[in-house]
Structure 1
Amino acid sequence: MKTHEIVKRFREHFERAGHTYVPSASLILEDPTLLFVNAGMVPFKPYFLGEAPPPYKRATSIQKCVRTPDIDEVGKTTRHLTFFQMAGNFSFGDYFKEEAIRLAWTLITNPQDQGGYGFDPERLWVTVYLDDDEAIELWQKVAGLPPERIQRRDGKDNYWDMGVPGPGGPCSEIYFDRGPDYGREGGPVADEDRYLEIWNLVFMQDIRGEQSPKLGHKPIGELPAKNIDTGMGVERVASLLQGVDNVYETDLVRAVIAKAEELSGRRYGADETDDVRFRVIADHSRSGILIVGDGVTPGNEGRGYVLRRLLRRIVRSARLLGVTEPVLGQFAAVVRDEMGPVYPDLVTNFERILSVVQNEENTFLTTLTAGSKIFDSAAGEVRAAGATTLPGDKAFQLHDTYGFPIDLTLEMASEQGLTVDEDGFRKLMAEQRARAKADAASRKTGHGDKTVYRELLELGATEFTGYEELASEATVRGIIREGQRVRSAAEGEIVEVVLDRTPLYAESGGQESDAGVITADGVELEVVDVQKVNRKLWVHQVRVRAGELAEGQRVLAQVDQEWRTGARQGHSGTHVVHAALREVLGPKALQSGSYNKPGYLRLDFAWTGGLSPETRSEIEEVSNLAVRKDLPVKIKYGTIAEAQQLGAIALFGETYDETVRMIEIGGPWSLELCGGTHVEHSSQIGPITLIGESSVGSGVRRVEAYVGMEAFRYLAQERALVQNLATMLKVPDAEVPGRVEALVERLRVAEKELEKLRSAQLLSSAGALAEGAEDLGGTALVAASIPGVSGNDLRTLATDVRNRLGSRPGVVALFAPEQDKVGFVVATTEAARSAGIAAGKLVPVFGPAIGGRGGGKPDMAQGGGGNPGGVPEAIAALRGELGRNGA
């Protein structure tokens, strides 16, 4: 049975049972505890946490998931994956254990010609939580399972919670016995390779405290409504129904391996070392392409860093399989073809995806070149010191800074007859992981106690009136001080205020929150910030300027009109610039993030390479032509499907309600999903002036602009600057660029002449240095401190002095001390090298004196140190060494 058919049957089974089908959420959600969605229940967390009332009693979904803690283990076994699909069914206070067991059992065991999966009931086992006698009874009653195929396990295996105080409950897991060829008898407690877990049913009934029941601690209470959260591993079920050994041989995954076989000419299953590489390519291609599809671009931190590692491991694995041509685009096409039927965004956004991955591959190939130079330098230092092991910190630097996988460093070291301090490398990696875990743990506070907001949300969502009016009468529903609900707030306090209705825009969609005031008789509150909790509750952070605010009080909430005018200009200006970018650059230049506030906008978009001045001018002109045309700005509402049919653009990573709001400027020219505040006609935006364009990551550029009065002020400053220059240069405004260019050219010529004079003066000292050589056991030594000389000049001078020593054995050691560092160059004559004196081997002799190190070849070595005061001691050490071992 093909994977898509497995998914189809799961969805239809639960829809027939009254479940609402919820499409997979993006891998990127606004969750402070997660880099990526890593389980099917994540999009439903607000309902399980009680932060929001669920819009349905029962739901089902096929959620794309990414888990990345064990990236380095992927490929080494057939069990580790970063990307997988989790099929799940969920109940929010509706059915509980018995119905969850019945629904799972019927789908698994019903014959395939009746819409089920057709698993043999005699080969199914289940596990339950230690004291969950009820679940045992239900498995016997509903499924007819004999007691010997129901096993009890402790909390580490069969209790679920979110890792923080909140909902939890016992689990019951379903396993399939693959037979004696896969391991020993005895059920899941004996061998989880033979008995493969395919489904986990979580009976969410408890409230856990600070200590988890997973570790044997008791829950602190029961949930008022019992919930069901289940997850079926689609890839695992596919491996069983397709009769293959593991998930890498299932249809959707094997297709990527087939492409890698085609490109490399090698065969999966022929060599275990190659198989690891095939599996890395197959898994990382799926996770990497899906992550890019949800709007992430490679970078050096957070999600971008994880994505970069995934993509670079694909390229490196392909290289180790002997593939020299670009591969990411070809693997991306396979993932699109295989996964597109389930995730159509992979098809519609493929041009952008392709651009991102191809750019990253090109960047990595450049990185390989740069990193190889760093490796060669490090290897040279090791050999110069007479050692054979590359230090662990060097291997870690190559991995962490240059993106070199450790296996690449090991291979390159082996090629040069060196080993790597793997223990030191792994220690540094462990420290990095510990820091990452600590950071992740700190992020989990994002799901701290939100009871206070939950209480207020139960009173109803905040009604936002800001689209129609700038002032609204409202009632104070709640006042929050330091996370606790209070009855009143006095003058001088900063508190959070929740109203039943408000015209003040809450920060979202890249737009800053409104400024404004909330007033009542004798009471005045300055609105500092407005945020949305769970997208339904407007929380105003206020400073009490006068009076005392009380819960239940009637107030007037007012938006600062000037602020809102500027905010509307900024947000509408963002849409206009986005449309202009796509008109000038093409449809691939899609927005990947934005920020706007009164008078200013910033827009990130998918693009590789900087924009020329001419292109920037064209984008600015197209934007301002749209302003001059006074295009109508219309608001439309509809479903996501209707918006997509109209061609509306959605922001990657954003979450939208079932009914969406579309902003249309000039018809189809600009049509985007957006909840922000906007002008009525494009002319109200005012002038748009681009002030900057830069790179913010691989394949992502950023433009910045002023709009409205801020644009006028910026242009006025530019005009004043030109007029001041014209006055200073005594030329008309139009001639300023030419005059400045002429002055710069004169300065450049003068600097070149000075450089020539300085170099000539420096090289003129070579003769005097050579004549001052001292004889040490038959070897001529020229050792001198020459402050203020650059590395290249120092090398040139050392070479000239060495040439002047002629055919005699000679060593030249020049030091260039600065305030807190010192560079050096050591050069030897041919006669000195014939006598066994090598420049690289002299570095360890004097290096400790200047706190430095370096390396090189027998004829020349160079490096630096951090103790310029140690130069005399370094020269003395050289004298002593040559005096003992002279030619």
Structure 2
Amino acid sequence: MQTAEIRRRWLQFFSERGHTVVPSASLVSDDPSLLFNIAGMVPFIPYLTGRETPPYTRATSVQKCVRTLDIDEVGKTTRHGTFFQMNGNFSFGDYFKAGAIEYAWQFLTTPTSGGGLGFDPDRLWVTVYLDDDEAAELWKKTAGLPDERIQRRGMDDNYWDTGQPGPAGPCSEIYYDRGPEYGLEGGPIADEDRYIEIWNLVFMQYQRGEGRGKDYPILGELANKNIDTGMGMERVAFLLQGVENMYEIDEVRPVLDRAAELAGVEYGGRESHDDDVRLRVVADHVRSAMMLISDGVTPSNEGRGYVLRRLLRRAIRAMRLLGVHGESLPELLPRSRDAMKASYPEVETDFERISRIAYAEERAFLRTLASGTTLLSQEVDKVKGAGGRLSGRQAFTLHDTYGFPIDLTIEMASEQGVTVDEESFRALMAEQRDRAQADARAKKTGGVTDTTAYRELRDAGETRFIGYEKLQSDSRVRGIVKNGHSAPVALPGDQVDIVLEETPFYAESGGQRADTGSISGDGFTAKVLDVQRPIGGLIVHRVEVTDGELQPGGTVLASVDDDYRLGACQAHSATHLVHAALRELLGPGAVQAGSFNEAGYMRFDFSYNAQVSQSARAEIEEAANMAVRRDLAVSAEYMSLDAARASGAMALFGEKYGETVRVVDIGGPWSRELCAGTHVAHSSQVGPISVLSESSIGSGVRRIEASVGMEAFRHLAAERALVSSLSDILKVPAADMPGRVHNILERLKKAERSIDEMRKKQALAGAGSLIESARDIDGTAFVATDLGDVGSVDELRSLATDLRARLGERSGVVAVAGVTKGRPVLVTATTASARERGLDAGALVRTASGVLGGGGGGKKDLAQGGGTDASAVPAALQAVADGLSANTAGA
């Protein structure tokens, strides 16, 4: 049975039994503590924990998930994959254990002709929590399971909680027996390779208290008991398809087979374990990367982008280890697209953008591998004589700064007899990850990681946002939070978070910076510094009390700074206009990848794999300003998500949208986007848009920055003044300035070339005296000179090769140093006789470059290096002499 068919049957089965079919949320989680949705129940957490009221009592979904904690185990076992799909059915205070068990058993064992999966009931086992007699009896009653196929396990295996006070409860897991050829008899407690877990039923029925790990008290039963179940799609698929593991199912195997063809290896052949692991890594990671890019993630060096980059690079690295050194993604990604499009049609419709990003990352990484190998060799050379161990910091720098994979660092270092401090490297990686997660949480909660106080305020109801209609309103202070805890009062000078019943202040979201303004009341005034949404439905105002005392319960006047709001509206509407202009001029693939706007300024990131030319940039700016001139109507309308998509509204990749969304139209279909931000009423109110820059910010992602409104006018006025000043200095009309500047630059270049030629002649003229002053080091003539400031490296290379030629058949080494553009450079050269004695120009220059604070390399006869410390040139030349002496002594 194909995976897409399992998906269809699942949704149909539960839909027919009163469950609302909920589309998969994006892989990108909206929880600041999570990078991705890591389980099927994550999007439903607010309903399961009671923080929000669910819009339905029964739901079902097939949720896309990504987990990368065990990424190093991918391919080695049948249990680890990065992207996977979790089929879930949920009950919010509706049916409980009996219903969940009955539905699971029916779906699994009903024959395929009746809409089920047709599993053999005699091969199914279950586990229940130690003292959950109710679940055990229900399995006997509903499924007719004998006692020996109902096994009891402790809290570590069969008890669920969130890790903090809240709902908790026992679990019941369903396992499939693959047969004696896969392991020991005796059920899941004996062998979880033979007995594969395919479904987990969580019974949320208790309220847990404070505690660590599984050591906490049960405070009582929940008023509303919930059901959360999850069936592993990939595990069920490989069992129903009769293959050995998840890498061989219909949605994954085509990539594996094509990778094997490209590498000229046989999957599952004799003595092919390492190759099999690499092929499985490729198949898993290519699919995972495609799905992440589909949901708007782009490669970068932090957060989600770093995870995507790592997946792609691990796949490319695995292909390299299989013997494929060129580009392989153009062969592999289309196979993954074709395998997944039945379940996720968007990977086909959006494939041009997805492939453009992936292919650019592969090309960049192949260049990184080439340059990284040289960098690694330099680091290895440094430690060969100092314990033969590459530090965790050195490995981390190679990984974090240059993108060099740790597994490649370990392998190549080992080939040269050097080990790597992996433990220190992992610790540095963990520190980086913790910092990233802490920063994400701090952004939403002002540095406070415990959100209990905010959740208590949220329990009293949502904060109503009225800022679309009003910039000033009366409201009531619901609560004050100071340093993460509820506070009874805020005094002058205090910076606190306050929650109002309703507010006109826009909380930062969708790329729009928060409003500024003031909140005042009876005897107090507070300045609004920031506005955020630390948890869903709650708007929090970070304020500084400037006068009087602020207390909960009081009536206040909330006033938005109307000048700032106007500027923010102009910038946000300008962002939409620029987006529409980009798509019109560059094509539909130029879609939004992120944005930021505040009064007077907008920044827009978009997917595009080429530099935007000056002429195209001018056209984009003109198209956006023509839209301003046409005075297009700006309107906002609420509708269902499906209706919005059907209308052609653009959505931001990675954003989570509810069932009802706000669609902002500017000039009808020309610009139609899902957006919760604030906007002007007519495009003419945006004012001028002046593009400041266009640049690359990552693989396949470009950025446009622009001034808007009065800031754009000021920018253009400043440029006009600058042009006028230069016109006066050059004594030409503004229109003739480019030609005059070009002529000046050409004259400068000619003068520089003349100076370079003169320097070369002067250096060569002194070559004879340098040869005469050569030092003899154990029978090798050593010629060293510091030329000081030079025009280019060519001067150094020319002198070095000339001096080497003058040494003739003698054993000789030349070292020529100088400073170009403020950075020290050194060139070494060896004669044939010197090389016969084992002297290597590349090794000598690497030693000297280390003294200069940099690196270098080259061939045995000629090499070049450099660094950052120009004052160390004499010491670098001496290092060459010392290296020469040590080498000849060793010989």
Q: TM-score, normalised by structure 1?
A: 0.90
2:583 is equivalent to residue 582 of structure 1: yes
- Could you tell which deviates more after superposition, 492-501 or 130-139? 130-139
CA–CA distance in structure 2, aligned partners of residues 594 and 819 of structure 1: 37
- Does 1:530 pair with 2:531? yes
Q: Does 1:343 align with 2:344?
A: yes
Partner of 2:616: 615
Q: Distance in 2 between matches of 1:517 and 1:275?
A: 63
In structure 1, C-alpha distance between the alignment counterparts of 2:840 and 2:816, rounded to whole Å: 16
Partner of 2:235: helix, strand, or coil? helix
Distance 1:90 1:64 in 2: 16
Is the CA contact 2:290–2:354 (under 8 Å) kept in the aligned structure 1? yes
Match of 1:168 in 2: 168
Secondary structure of the structure 2 residue equivalent to 1:17: coil
Aligned partner of 1:100 in structure 2 is 100
Read off the aligned partner of 2:493 and give its amino acid letter.
G
Deviation at 1:281, TM superposition (A): 2.3
Rate the CA distance shift 1:471–1:875 in 2: closer, same or farther, 3 A: closer
CA change 1:166–1:796 in 2 (3 A) is farther
Partners of 2:705 and 2:837 lie apart in 1 by 64
Counterparts of 1:372-383 in structure 2, within 5 Å, are: 372-374=373-375
Alpha-carbon spacing, 1:635–1:774, altered in 2? closer, same or farther (3 Å): closer
Q: 1:461 to 1:210 in 2, by over 3 A?
A: closer
Counterparts of 1:490-509 in structure 2, within 5 Å, are 490-509=491-510
Alignment of 1:81-160 (within 5 A): 81-160=81-160
Q: Is residue 175–residue 199 contact of structure 2 (8 Å, CA) maintained in 1? A: yes
Q: What is the CA deviation profile of residues 302-340 of structure 1, one whole-angstrom value per residue up to 9, with x for unaligned ones?
A: 211221222233334445555577442443333333322
1:269-668 superposed matches below 5 A: 269-270=268-269, 271-321=272-322, 326-374=327-375, 400-405=400-405, 418-419=415-416, 421=418, 423-424=419-420, 426-435=422-431, 438-439=434-435, 442=438, 449-668=450-669
What is the RMSD of the two structures over their aligned residues, measured on CA atoms?
3.6
CA 1:861/1:487 → structure 2, altered by over 3 Å: closer, same or farther? closer
The worse-fitting range, judged by mean Cα deviation, of 697-706 and 851-860 is: 851-860
Judged with a 3 Å threshold, the aligned counterparts in structure 2 of structure 1 residues 666 and 72 are, in CA distance, closer, same or farther, namely: same
| C-alpha contact 1:649 1:672 (8 A) present in aligned 2 | yes
1:123 Cα deviation (Å)?
1.9
Query: Is 1:59 the equivalent of 2:62?
Result: no
**Would the alpha carbon gap of residues 245 and 517 (structure 1) be closer, same or farther in structure 2, given more than 3 Å must change?**
same
Contact 2:173 2:201 survives alignment (8 Å): yes
What's the secondary structure of 1:762's corresponding residue?
helix
Task: Give 1:229's aligned residue.
Answer: 228
- Kept in 1, the 8 Å contact 2:303–2:436? The answer is no
* 1:359-392 residue CA offsets vs partner (Å, 9 max, x unmatched): 2222233333333554676788899x89999999
> Is the CA contact (8 Å cut-off) linking 1:212 and 1:218 kept in structure 2?
no
Note the alpha carbon deviations across 1:710-768, whole angstroms, 9 max, x for none.
Answer: 11111111111112222323333333333333333332222222222233323322111
Match of 1:14 in 2: 14
Deviation, structure 1 residue 785 = 5.3
In structure 1, the partner of 2:33 is 33
Question: Following the alignment from structure 1 to structure 2, what is the Cα–Cα distance between the partners of residues 336 and 359?
Answer: 17
User: Aligned equivalents of 2:268 and 2:14: distance in 1?
Assistant: 38
Encode CA deviations 1:125-171: one digit per residue, 9 max, x unaligned.
Answer: 22223343443333334333222222222333223334455543332
Q: Aligned-pair distance for 1:52?
A: 2.2
**Structure 1 match to 2:810:** 808
Deviations 1:196-219 (CA, angstroms, capped at 9, x unpaired) = 0011122234455664444x5545
Q: Which residue of 2 aligns with 1:240?
A: 239
Distance apart, 1:822 and its partner CA = 7.3
- Counterpart amino acid of 2:588? P
The alpha carbon displacement at 1:413 in A equals 8.2
Q: How do 1:729-808 residues align onto structure 2 when only pairs under 5 Å count?
A: 729-775=730-776, 779-784=780-785, 787-788=788-789, 793-808=795-810
Q: 1:755 to 1:222 in 2, by over 3 A?
A: farther
The answer as to whether partners of 2:687 and 2:710 remain within 8 angstroms in 1 is yes
CA, structure 1 residues 433+532, in 2 after alignment: closer, same or farther (shift >3 Å)?
closer
Distance in 1 of aligned mates of 2:781 and 2:242 = 79
Q: Do 1:205 and 1:226's aligned partners in 2 also have CA atoms closer than 8 Å?
A: yes
Residue pair 2:849, 2:865 contacting (<8 A) in 1 also:
no
The alignment partner of 2:252 has SS state of helix
Residue equivalent to 1:69: 69
Q: Matched residues in 2 for 1:278 and 1:872: separation?
A: 49
Taking structure 1 as reference, are residues 861 and 512 closer, same or farther at Cα in structure 2, changes over 3 Å only? closer
- Distance, in Å, in 2 between the alignment partners of 1:839 and 1:594 is 50
Looking at structure 2, the residues matched to 519 and 374 of structure 1 have their Cα atoms a distance apart, in angstroms, of 60
Change (3 A) 1:671 1:372: same
- 1:269 partner letter: G
Alignment partners' CA distance in 2, 1:472 and 1:78: 59
Deviations 1:761-818 (A, max 9, x none): 2332211111223456654443455555676544433332232233334343456699
SS at 1:7's partner residue?
Answer: helix
Relative to structure 1, the CA distance from residue 558 to residue 639 in structure 2 (aligned partners, 3 Å threshold; closer, same or farther) is same
Segments of 5+ residues of structure 1 without an aligned counterpart are: none
Specify the code of the residue in structure 2 equivalent to 1:435: E
Whether the aligned pair in 1 keeps the contact of 2:32 and 2:437 (CA below 8 Å) is no
User: Kindly tell me: are residues 524 and 652 of structure 1, through their superposed partners in 2, closer, same or farther at Cα, counting changes over 3 Å?
Assistant: same
Q: Structure 1 residue 347: deviation in Å?
A: 3.0
Deviation of residue 501 (structure 1)?
Answer: 1.9
Comparing 272-281 with 289-298, which one deviates more in the overlay?
A: 272-281
1:251 is matched by which residue type in structure 2?
D
Offset of 1:267 from its aligned partner?
A: 4.1
Distance 1:842 1:677 in 2: 63
- How far the C-alpha of 1:855 sits from its partner, in A, is 6.3
Q: 2:454·2:535 contact (CA, 8 Å) conserved in 1?
A: no
Q: What is the rounded CA distance, in whole Å, between the counterparts of 1:835 and 1:14 in structure 2?
A: 80
Distance 1:829 1:381, change over 3 A: farther
Sort the Cα spacing of 1:858 and 1:734 in 2 relative to 1 into closer, same or farther, 3 A.
closer
Partner secondary structure for residue 533 of structure 2: strand
CA distance 1:850–1:566, change in 2 (3 Å): closer
1:260–1:239 CA distance, 2 compared to 1 (3 A): same
Secondary structure of the 2:251 match is helix
- Cα deviations by residue, 1:841-882 (Å, 9 ceiling, x for unpaired): 778999999999976655455656876675696587579669
Is the alpha carbon distance of 1:532 and 1:750 closer, same or farther for their aligned partners in structure 2, counting shifts above 3 Å? same
Cα shift at 1:825: 4.6
Q: Matches of 1:396 and 1:534 in 2, distance apart?
A: 34
Following superposition, the deviation at residue 660 of structure 1 comes to 1.1
How far is the alpha carbon of 1:593 from its aligned partner?
Answer: 0.7
Fraction of identical pairs, as percent: 56
1:530 is displaced (CA, Å) by: 1.6
Distance in 1, matches of 2:709 and 2:682, equals: 14
Structure 1 stretch displaced more, 590-599 or 864-873: 864-873
Give the drift of 1:247: 1.5
Distance of aligned partners of 1:574 and 1:138 in 2 relative to their CA distance in 1, 3 Å threshold: same
Relative to structure 1, the CA distance from residue 9 to residue 883 in structure 2 (aligned partners, 3 Å threshold; closer, same or farther) is closer
* 1:477 Cα deviation from its structure 2 partner: 2.3
- Taking a change above 3 Å as real, the CA distance of residues 710 and 20 of structure 1, as seen in their structure-2 partners, is same
Cα contact 1:380–1:855 (8 A) shared by 2: no
5+ residue gaps, structure 2, are none
**Residue 180 (structure 2) aligns with:** 180
Please give the alpha-carbon distance, in whole angstroms, between the structure 1 residues aligned to 2:29 and 2:150: 37
- 805-814 or 181-190, larger mean C-alpha shift: 805-814
Q: Aligned partner of 2:122: which letter?
A: E
